[in-house]
Amino acid sequence: MRSRGIVFSVCLLGLSLVYLLVACGGGGEEPPAPPPGGVEGPAAHTGEELLEARCTRCHNLDRVKAASKTLDEWTATVGRMRGKGAELSDAEAEILLEYLAETYGP
């Protein structure tokens, strides 16, 4: 009887981990590669548009608007967010970083 409880617990833990990975964008699927030469689609024009379109998928912008970070600090933040699943090509990240540093810099 005890082994059934252990098996049930392991299965429940495994399902919980799968749910968390999928919910956080870590389901193992790679986002599609950006087209050669840069920015994807019509929604990716300015840093402000990228901030609104991509960053608000997971959170509101209160923390961004209250921050005052250098370019290096914003680079670390955007890198961390990309690691958590933020969908930004390298070119889009550069546009966003320039906007963040200019608008929300020290």
DSSP 66-80: H----HHHHHHHHHH
Q: What is the pLDDT of residues 13-42, one digit of tens each?
A: 455 444 544 455 544 455 555 544 444 444
Same-domain pairing of 70 and 102: yes
Residue 18: the pLDDT is: 46
76 contacts: CB under 8 Å, gap ≥ 6 = none
Domain count, the chain: 2
Q: Is residue 32 part of a domain?
A: no
Residue 7, pLDDT score:
58
- Residue 45 confidence (pLDDT): 82
The predicted structure's pLDDT at residue 17: 44
Query: Is residue 58 a contact partner of residue 86, using CB atoms and an 8 Å limit?
Result: yes
Same domain, 55 and 7: no
Residue range 76-105, pLDDT digits in tens:
999 999 999 999 999 999 999 999 999 999
Show the domain range for 56.
46-106
